Structure 1
């Protein structure tokens, strides 16, 4: 009898616990009904798997070695990437790749969010010259306009506006544009000074954010560019030969971020019904590199997966080797953070201070 009572109490406890968890999940979904992701390989969850010509793919080992099921999914990571952690924070499943939904023509699938992010993509068209095929931001917004029509079809015009006004629109892009400018042999410096190029990036992004606003977007999470000059690929290409960062690339990452932050402040004055969180990714990576032990990192220069100096001469392909201690590496491959680093980044986005996420973090943005 005692065992039965104990079993009943245990069952009751877990029932209450599950109800509480389900209630919290439900409340989170009410707060954020959907998340729409725009960006590059940092947040691609598999769109490039559907691009036949693309060389920017991660649907092969050793990618995904720590992902549930231990299979590569198209994420440029050993496990989950920032898009996955963002979804977890707001109580949603990861937004599926748009190209995986397009053929089904199922508008209901659009209601909890969609990812348009694509490895190799940039703010400008043509940043994928090396990779042959990606979905530039202009095309991603085009695809979102199709999703918008599907949401209107499902909920009606007023219902769609209410739904989208509570949804989160995350934009993580720009690194490929700058990397392309500073790539050896690039023709871009002959056409524009770095300042002209950065200014044009910001103006182009502003126009696309306004277009998204016309299609119902009201809450934006916009990430600045990280310390791209310190990724293993850039360190490896540095002519000093000491594995030092490319300081020119870092300098213009900072200049872009300053312009981006200023542009968002101006956009808020112009479009009074928007709210946004600007994430200072540059300072986050600077802290990782300068104070690695604080975050549990031991290796911040070399990639975990690859071959050659800094494991950055050959990318993370099946013939490459990968480290066993993924959690103490900042970089998974030539360009992308490990799952451990991605988790830290999203923790900052969600509840970081005003110095890290301006003028409010994601948690505060959701409450607006």
Structure 2
């Protein structure tokens, strides 16, 4: 059986068949990246392929029928182009900063014209509202679900094979880095809000469902040729201004019950990735912790140059968490001093801090004890992943 046939068989076996697709591929908006202020060594990484939710969506939702969009001012006011490209930030997202550290052009949203014009430049499949589960975020409208993002990656892979040939395409995918920022919406727009039948499950069973589904998705990507991946844990969503507003807190403290739920998912994700890398030859799917660094910035904002860590710069109501950022009139006086840009998403500068931690920071939580032995497995940083030289297997 050929390599491509094997991937297609596995994909049909693992990807659910009941979808509400509804994606219209029309021209999108794409802004060119800026240079970093220093010149790191050239990394052996030809492209980034980005999967996830609104923390990584660079404009795919511009082309969908959804309320989860950020293609209007004041979003993008501090981006390179000063244009609202569809990013849920006043500027760059964490994945954009990682692109810069790799000295790569920003991966264009897959549904954009630029993605078709520059197929070797990587691609961003992330979609605001999406989660690991297909029905997560349905209340917001159309989105590219986790499984649909996998299918689009396979579509791009097949295009690369047709253009470059099997050997060159295999090397391209083997050396590229996949970036995952997903799972948060499975809590925010599913389990916590009781939006689906899966939300009726106890937290441990819901986490098992998420992790099993996500492992199946990663397995398809591995069989398709992916070998390097940075897999972000879920951040402390209980610290988001929306939950502070929703619970009507007077202290401004994080909703720790929500943070405990996602921390349990993160623990399971580390263990799953340990097992995944051990069971799949040549796989380097590395856990990267963003929970701890974001939590520290939220709790001790002055240590990082922020004036506060609990109030959105653009929003209404207590902590700016009562509604979305809808107008330039809603923007705070000094955006760089706020960790949060809107009710769910960090600011341009906050994302830079997070990216640098993911890039080279080593945190104790990135070392995981294997559940079947006493051996320790230390996950690579993205910088180490970029420097890794792999051969065909």
Is the TM-score greater than 0.5? yes
1:95 paired residue among 79, 94, 107: 107
Please say if 1:50 is aligned against 2:63. yes
Does the C-alpha gap of structure 1 residues 359 and 317 become closer, same or farther in structure 2, counting only changes over 3 Å? Answer: same
Please say if 1:70 is aligned against 2:70. no
Taking the aligned partners of 2:199 and 2:128, their CA distance within structure 1 comes to 26
Taking the aligned partners of 1:216 and 1:362, their CA distance within structure 2 comes to 19
1:239 positional shift: 5.0
Q: 1:223-269 CA distances to partner (integer Å, 9 max, x unpaired)?
A: 00010011000111115454332222111110000000000000011
2:172 paired residue among 151, 163, 170: 163
- Structure 1 segment 1-368 matched on structure 2, within 5 A: 28=42, 31-51=44-64, 53-101=65-113, 106=117, 109-184=118-193, 186=195, 188=197, 191-238=200-247, 240-318=249-327, 320-355=329-364, 357=366, 358-368=378-388
Q: 1:303-338 CA distances to partner (integer Å, 9 max, x unpaired)?
A: 000112111112100265111322221110000000
Q: 1:194-241 CA distances to partner (integer Å, 9 max, x unpaired)?
A: 110111101111000010011111000000001001100011111545
Q: Secondary structure at the match of 2:286?
A: strand
Taking the aligned partners of 1:228 and 1:32, their CA distance within structure 2 comes to 31
Contact in 1 for aligned 2:58/2:126 (Cα 8 Å): yes
Taking the aligned partners of 2:199 and 2:211, their CA distance within structure 1 comes to 20
Contact in 2 for aligned 1:44/1:119 (Cα 8 Å): yes
TM-score between the two structures when normalised by the length of structure 2: 0.82
Q: 1:166-189 CA distances to partner (integer Å, 9 max, x unpaired)?
A: 100001000000113444454547
Q: Structure 2: where are the runs of 5+ without partners?
A: 1-35, 367-377, 389-393
Does the C-alpha gap of structure 1 residues 200 and 184 become closer, same or farther in structure 2, counting only changes over 3 Å? Answer: closer
CA RMSD of aligned residues (A): 2.1
Q: 1:41-69 CA distances to partner (integer Å, 9 max, x unpaired)?
A: 00111000011x11100001110111123
1:34 positional shift: 0.7
Does the C-alpha gap of structure 1 residues 254 and 115 become closer, same or farther in structure 2, counting only changes over 3 Å? Answer: same
Does the C-alpha gap of structure 1 residues 184 and 153 become closer, same or farther in structure 2, counting only changes over 3 Å? Answer: closer
Q: Structure 1: where are the runs of 5+ without partners?
A: 1-20
Contact in 2 for aligned 1:179/1:249 (Cα 8 Å): no
Does the C-alpha gap of structure 1 residues 48 and 186 become closer, same or farther in structure 2, counting only changes over 3 Å? Answer: closer
Q: Secondary structure at the match of 2:355?
A: helix
Equivalent residue pairs, number: 341
Q: 1:112-141 CA distances to partner (integer Å, 9 max, x unpaired)?
A: 200001111100011122211111110000
- Which one has a bigger Cα radius of gyration? 1
TM-score between the two structures when normalised by the length of structure 1: 0.88
Taking the aligned partners of 1:231 and 1:150, their CA distance within structure 2 comes to 39
Contact in 2 for aligned 1:303/1:332 (Cα 8 Å): yes
Q: 1:67-120 CA distances to partner (integer Å, 9 max, x unpaired)?
A: 123221100000111121111010101000000149x855xx221200001111
Contact in 2 for aligned 1:168/1:221 (Cα 8 Å): yes
